[in-house]
C-alpha cells in the first residue's frame, strides 16, 4: 500500500483512515506527538494505536478524548475529531485530527477569557493594529469615553480632542515600538463633541505579536478613575492646606498661603477677601444687614478681566455659594472663627474643567474652616503685638528731641517673631546746667513682661538722673535696685515667665556742652560709637562692668571731649547681630555710620542704618539713638569766683546785671539778682569759700553757685515768727526749677529761668 504523507498543520496531529480502518496517511505532527513515524503506522489498523479497549468505537464517534499508544511507551491523552470524507478514488473514509488534551483545555480557556473580556462591564477594551487604527472594542468602552458606535477602522483623532488623542497615541506608539507594556497611566479623555466633559481614564497597554514574532497591534485597557482622581486630588489639596496654612502669624501671610494652596488644587483663580478689622486685631462686626467691610488680601492664578484690584472693597455680603455652572464655574466659602466672620475665599476654574460639585464645595469649606483658625490666631497675635508695642512705645521718649546739648533721633524696631516685643529702651534726659544724659538699655526676654521690666528700669534711671549723679555712681545705684528686684521676685513670677531683670544691660552717658566733656559708663552693654565731624568713627574706650543685678563689681567711667557736630550713637545688641558675631556686627555698624550723611536729617540716617543692618530673621528688638552734640559758646557763659565775704555779694549782683544786659535779658535782671543774692549768701554763711558763680545762656538761663561743702540745702516753710528760712522758698517761686548736685570738690546749687518769663498780672 502506498504511504501518504499529509501536509503539517500547526499543533494538530492528523491521520487518514480508509474504509477498512487502516491508517493510510500520517503527518509530521503525528510523528512528533506519538513518537511513531509513518512507516510504523501506515497499513496497520487504527485501533492498534489505542491504549485502552474502550477506544474500539473511535470511528463511530465524531469527537471525544482517548488515550493513544506512543513510541516512548507512555500513553498520551488526546482530544480528537473525526472528519468523514466523501468522493471517488482510493476509498479514504475519514480524516482524524488529534491534539493533546491539556492543550485543548488551554485553548478553550483562552477563548473563554477573550470572549468574556470583550463582554465584561468594568473595563473598556480596545484592539489597535500597528498603525493605531481601531480593530475591535467592547461595547462597554463607549460609556467611559462617550465614543459613538462603529469604531472599526477609525483612529482616535476621529472622536477625541486633538490633545487627548495625541497623548493616548503617544503611549500606544511607545508600546508598539518598544514592546514595553504601560501600566496605570492616567489621562483626561474628552470627546470632540464635549470639550468640557470627558473623564480621567487609567490606561494599560501591551503589544500583540504573531507566533512568528511579527507585531500585529496593541491592546489597551481603559478604566474610569475619575472619582478616584477627584478624591485623591481633594485629599492632596486638604493635606497641603493643613501643612501650609497656619505657619505664619501674619494675616496677609496666611491669606497668601491659602491662595497658593488652592491653585491649581481647586481652581485656576483664587481671591481671598479679609475683613478690614482683622488687620488691626479687632473683632469684625457686620452691620445690621449682615454686611462686612472686606479687603482683597491675596490672589493666585492669572488675573481675569472682571477682577477687582487689591485694596478695600467696601461692604460685602459674605456667605457660601455652591458650585456654579456659570462661565467660569466658581464657588466661595466664608472664613469664620470664634470671633465671628473674618472674610471669604472664592475659587474659579476653566470652563473646560466642568462645573464644581458639592464635594468640591465641602472641601473648600473644610479648608476655609482650618484657614479661619489660623487667621483668627494671626488676628489675636496682631492685637496682642500692637498692645505690647504700644506699651513699649509709650514707655519710650519721643523719637526726636532737641536740647541745648544735643539734637537726637531714635529708631526702634520691635522684633517680628512670635515671642513679641522685647525690653530694649533708650532715653534722652535733660540735666541741669544745659547738660544731657543719653541712655540705652536692654532687658533679656520678650513680651509684655520684658516691656514692664524695661519701664521700671527706665523710671529708675530717670529718678537717679534727677540726682545729678556721675555715670558710674548712677549705675551702682541702679545695680542695687535691680538686685533688690531679683530678690523680691517670687517663684510664681518666674514660672509665669516674668522677665528676670538680672539679665539687663545699660549704658549711661552725660555730655556737658559748656566744658565739652562726655562721661560714659556701661553695665554689660556695647560701647557707644562716636562719629567725628570729619566722618571718622571710633568706639568709646569704655570698660564695661557686669550686667545689672550681678553686684560686687565696680563700674568705671570714661571721659572724652568730642568736637561740636560729632554724633554719638547708642544702640542695643539687636542691631549688631544679637547672639551672632558681635565684633563683626560692630565693624559693620562703624562702616554704616561712616557712610551715611549724619550732618543732615538724623532720623533718615538712622532709618538707613537700621534697614541695612537688620536681617529678615530678626530675633531681637533693634534700637538706635543718634545724638548730634552741640557746644555752648564761651560768650554764652560767665563765671566769677569770690571769697567767703558777705560784702562780695553786691559785686556778684552788679556783674550778673551787666552780663544779662549784654545778652539782651534785661527783663531777668531783677529775679536773677534776688536768686544770686540768696544762693551766694547761703553759701558764704554755711559753706565758706571760695564760691564760684556761673551764668549759662542756652534754652534757659541757668544760675549756678558752687561751694566746697557737701551739705545739701533743704527747702522748708518758715513760720510767721521766724526771721529767716524763706530764701530757698523764694528761689523756687522765682525760677522754673532748681536743685543741687554733688561735685568732686563739693556741691553746686542751680536754678533755671525761662528766657521769656511769663507776664505777671497783679
Give Cα 695 to chain centroid, integer Å.
60
Query: Lowest-confidence range among 198-207, 441-450, 602-611?
Result: 441-450
In three-state form (DSSP H/G/I as H, E/B as E, the rest C), the secondary structure along 650-668 is HHHHHHHHHHHHHCCCHHH
DSSP state of 757: P
Number of compact structural domains in the chain: 5
Residues 721, 597, single domain; the answer is: no
Q: What is the pLDDT of residues 337-391, one digit of tens each?
A: 887 889 999 999 888 777 888 899 999 999 999 999 999 999 998 888 787 777 7
CATH number for 670: 3.30.565.10
Q: What is the pLDDT of residues 577-601, one digit of tens each?
A: 755 678 888 999 999 999 999 998 9
When pLDDT is averaged across residues 312-332 and rounded to a whole number, the result is 66
> Pick from 386, 458, 399, 400: which is nearest to 424 by CA?
458
pLDDT of residue 475: 94
Q: What is the pLDDT of residues 516-547, one digit of tens each?
A: 999 999 999 999 999 999 999 999 999 999 99
On whether the CB atoms of residues 58 and 89 are closer than 8 A, the answer is: no
Distance between start and end Cα atoms, the chain:
168
Residues 419, 444, single domain; the answer is: yes
C-alpha cell of residue 179: 514592546
Residue 194 maps to a domain: yes
What is the rounded CA–CA span in Å between residue 50 and residue 40? 14
Residue 760 maps to a domain: no
Range of the domain at 544: 398-629
Confidence of residue 63 (pLDDT cuts 50, 70, 90): confident
H or E element that contains 484: helix 471-488
Residues 339, 355, single domain; the answer is: yes
Of residues 725 and 535, which shows the higher confidence score?
Answer: 535
Task: Judge whether residue 202 has pLDDT over 60.
Answer: yes
Domain end (from 577, 605, 629): 629
Q: What is the pLDDT of residues 626-660, one digit of tens each?
A: 999 999 999 999 999 999 888 899 999 999 999 99
Task: Judge whether residue 489 has pLDDT over 70.
Answer: no
C-alpha cell of residue 583: 565684633
Residue 287 maps to a domain: yes
CATH number for 295: 3.30.450.40
CATH number for 154: 3.30.450.20
Task: Judge whether residue 136 has pLDDT over 90.
Answer: no
DSSP state of 539: E
Residue 762 maps to a domain: no
pLDDT of residue 90: 60
Residues 479, 588, single domain; the answer is: yes
Q: Which DSSP string corresponds to 660-705?
A: HHHTT-GGGHHHHHHHHHHHHHHHHHHT-S-EEEEEEESSEEEEEE
On whether the CB atoms of residues 609 and 589 are closer than 8 A, the answer is: yes
Confidence of residue 247 (pLDDT cuts 50, 70, 90): confident
pLDDT of residue 505: 92
Residues 182, 50, single domain; the answer is: no
pLDDT of residue 719: 52
Confidence of residue 132 (pLDDT cuts 50, 70, 90): very high
Residue 667 maps to a domain: yes
Confidence of residue 141 (pLDDT cuts 50, 70, 90): low
Residues 490, 344, single domain; the answer is: no
Task: Judge whether residue 122 has pLDDT over 70.
Answer: yes
Contacts of range 304-307, beta carbons closer than 8 Å, 24 or more positions apart: 304/269, 304/328, 304/348, 307/269, 307/271
Confidence of residue 311 (pLDDT cuts 50, 70, 90): low
What is the rounded CA–CA span in Å between residue 272 and residue 334? 10
Burial 499-514 (b: 16+ CB within 10 A, else e): bbbbbbbbbbbbbbbb
Task: Judge whether residue 515 has pLDDT over 90.
Answer: yes
Domain end (from 605, 629, 653): 629
Residue 116 maps to a domain: no
Residue 510 maps to a domain: yes
What is the rounded CA–CA span in Å between residue 343 and residue 255? 10
On whether the CB atoms of residues 328 and 290 are closer than 8 A, the answer is: no
Residues 359, 405, single domain; the answer is: no
On whether the CB atoms of residues 530 and 539 are closer than 8 A, the answer is: yes
* DSSP H helical ranges for 179-266: 226-244, 251-265
Q: How many helices (H) and strands (E) does the chain have?
A: 17, 32
H or E element that contains 746: strand 746-754
Residues 290, 319, single domain; the answer is: yes
Strand order in the sheet with 63-68: 4-5, 23-26, 13-18, 92-100, 76-84, 63-68
Residues 181, 242, single domain; the answer is: no
What is the rounded CA–CA span in Å between residue 424 and residue 444? 9
The pTM (predicted TM-score) of the whole model is 0.61
Residues 159, 258, single domain; the answer is: no
Confidence of residue 723 (pLDDT cuts 50, 70, 90): very low
Residues 192, 279, single domain; the answer is: no
Give Cα 105 to chain centroid, integer Å.
68
What is the rounded CA–CA span in Å between residue 515 and residue 500? 39
Residue 393 maps to a domain: no
pLDDT of residue 11: 67
Q: Which DSSP string corresponds to 405-421?
A: TEEEEEEEE---STT--
Residues 594, 656, single domain; the answer is: no
CATH number for 481: 3.60.40.10
C-alpha cell of residue 385: 503685638
Amino acid at each position: 500500500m502506498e504511504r501518504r504523507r499529509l501536509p503539517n498543520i500547526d499543533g494538530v496531529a492528523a491521520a487518514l483512515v480508509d474504509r477498512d480502518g487502516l491508517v493510510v496517511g500520517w503527518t509530521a505532527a503525528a510523528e512528533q506527538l506519538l513518537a511513531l513515524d509513518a512507516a510504523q503506522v501506515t497499513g496497520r489498523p487504527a485501533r492498534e494505536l489505542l491504549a485502552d479497549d474502550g477506544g474500539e468505537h473511535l470511528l463511530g464517534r465524531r469527537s471525544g478524548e482517548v488515550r493513544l499508544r506512543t513510541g516512548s511507551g507512555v500513553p498520551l491523552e488526546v482530544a480528537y475529531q473525526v472528519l468523514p470524507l466523501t468522493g471517488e478514488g482510493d476509498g479514504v473514509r475519514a480524516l482524524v485530527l488529534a491534539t493533546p488534551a491539556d492543550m485543548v483545555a488551554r485553548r478553550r480557556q483562552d477563548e473563554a477569557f477573550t470572549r468574556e473580556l470583550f463582554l465584561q462591564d468594568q473595563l473598556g477594551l480596545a484592539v489597535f493594529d500597528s498603525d493605531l487604527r481601531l480593530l475591535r472594542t467592547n461595547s462597554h468602552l463607549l460609556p467611559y469615553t462617550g465614543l459613538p458606535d462603529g469604531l472599526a477602522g477609525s483612529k482616535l483623532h476621529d472622536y477625541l480632542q486633538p490633545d487627548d488623542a495625541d497623548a493616548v497615541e503617544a503611549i500606544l506608539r511607545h508600546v508598539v515600538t518598544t514592546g514595553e507594556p504601560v501600566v496605570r497611566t492616567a489621562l483626561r479623555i474628552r470627546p470632540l463633541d464635549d470639550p468640557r466633559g470627558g473623564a480621567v481614564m487609567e490606561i494599560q497597554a501591551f503589544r500583540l505579536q504573531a507566533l512568528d514574532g511579527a507585531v500585529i497591534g496593541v491592546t489597551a485597557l481603559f478604566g474610569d478613575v475619575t472619582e478616584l482622581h477627584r478624591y485623591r486630588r481633594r485629599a492632596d489639596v486638604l493635606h497641603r492646606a493643613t501643612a501650609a496654612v497656619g505657619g505664619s502669624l501674619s494675616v496677609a501671610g496666611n491669606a497668601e498661603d491659602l491662595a497658593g494652596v488652592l491653585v491649581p488644587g481647586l481652581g485656576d483663580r483664587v481671591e481671598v477677601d479679609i475683613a478690614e478689622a482683622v488687620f488691626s486685631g479687632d473683632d469684625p462686626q457686620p452691620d445690621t444687614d449682615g454686611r462686612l467691610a472686606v479687603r482683597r488680601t491675596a490672589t493666585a492664578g492669572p488675573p481675569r478681566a472682571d477682577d477687582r484690584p487689591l485694596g478695600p472693597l467696601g461692604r460685602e455680603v459674605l456667605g457660601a455659594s455652591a458650585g456654579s455652572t456659570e462661565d467660569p464655574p466658581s464657588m466661595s466659602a466664608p472664613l469664620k472663627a470664634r470671633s465671628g466672620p473674618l472674610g471669604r475665599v472664592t475659587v474659579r476654574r476653566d470652563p473646560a474643567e466642568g462645573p464644581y460639585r458639592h464635594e468640591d464645595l465641602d472641601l473648600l469649606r473644610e479648608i476655609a474652616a482650618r484657614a479661619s483658625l489660623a487667621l483668627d490666631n494671626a488676628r489675636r497675635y496682631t492685637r496682642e503685638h500692637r498692645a505690647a508695642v504700644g506699651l513699649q512705645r509709650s514707655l519710650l521718649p519721643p523719637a526726636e528731641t532737641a536740647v541745648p546739648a544735643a539734637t537726637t533721633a531714635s529708631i526702634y524696631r520691635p522684633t517680628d517673631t512670635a515671642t513679641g516685643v522685647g525690653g530694649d529702651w533708650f532715653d534722652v534726659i535733660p540735666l541741669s546746667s544745659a547738660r544731657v544724659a543719653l541712655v540705652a538699655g536692654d532687658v533679656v526676654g520678650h513680651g509684655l513682661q520684658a516691656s514692664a521690666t524695661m519701664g521700671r528700669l527706665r523710671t529708675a534711671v530717670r529718678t537717679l538722673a534727677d540726682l545729678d549723679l556721675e555715670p558710674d555712681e548712677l549705675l551702682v545705684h541702679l545695680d542695687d535696685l535691680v538686685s533688690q528686684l531679683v530678690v523680691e521676685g517670687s517663684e510664681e513670677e518666674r514660672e509665669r515667665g516674668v522677665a528676670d531683670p538680672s539679665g539687663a544691660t545699660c549704658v549711661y552717658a552725660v555730655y556737658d556742652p559748656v566744658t565739652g566733656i562726655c562721661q560714659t559708663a556701661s553695665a554689660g552693654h556695647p560701647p557707644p560709637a562716636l562719629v567725628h565731624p570729619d566722618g571718622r568713627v571710633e568706639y568709646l574706650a569704655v570698660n564695661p562692668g557686669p550686667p545689672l543685678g550681678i553686684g560686687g563689681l565696680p563700674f568705671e567711667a570714661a571721659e572724652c571731649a568730642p568736637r561740636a557736630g560729632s554724633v554719638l550713637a547708642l544702640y542695643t545688641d539687636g542691631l549688631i547681630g544679637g547672639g551672632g558675631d558681635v565684633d563683626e556686627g560692630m565693624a559693620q555698624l562703624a562702616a554704616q555710620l561712616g557712610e551715611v550723611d549724619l550732618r543732615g536729617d538724623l532720623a533718615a540716617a538712622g532709618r538707613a542704618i537700621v534697614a541695612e543692618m537688620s536681617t529678615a530673621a530678626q530675633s531681637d528688638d533693634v534700637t538706635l539713638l543718634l545724638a548730634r552734640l552741640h557746644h555752648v559758646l564761651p560768650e554764652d557763659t560767665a563765671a566769677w569766683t569770690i571769697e567767703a565775704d558777705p560784702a562780695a555779694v553786691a559785686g556778684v549782683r552788679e556783674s550778673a546785671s551787666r552780663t544779662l544786659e549784654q545778652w539782651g535779658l534785661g527783663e531777668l535782671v531783677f529775679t536773677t539778682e534776688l536768686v544770686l543774692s540768696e544762693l551766694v549768701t547761703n553759701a558764704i554763711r554755711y559753706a565758706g569759700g571760695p564760691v564760684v558763680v556761673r551764668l549759662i545762656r542756652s534754652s534757659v538761663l541757668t544760675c549756678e553757685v558752687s561751694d566746697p561743702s557737701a551739705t545739701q540745702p533743704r527747702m522748708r516753710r518758715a513760720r510767721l515768727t521766724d526771721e529767716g528760712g524763706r530764701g530757698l522758698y523764694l528761689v523756687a517761686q522765682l525760677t522754673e526749677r532748681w536743685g543741687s548736685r554733688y561735685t568732686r570738690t563739693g556741691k553746686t546749687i542751680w536754678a533755671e529761668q525761662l528766657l521769656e518769663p511769663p507776664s505777671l498780672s497783679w
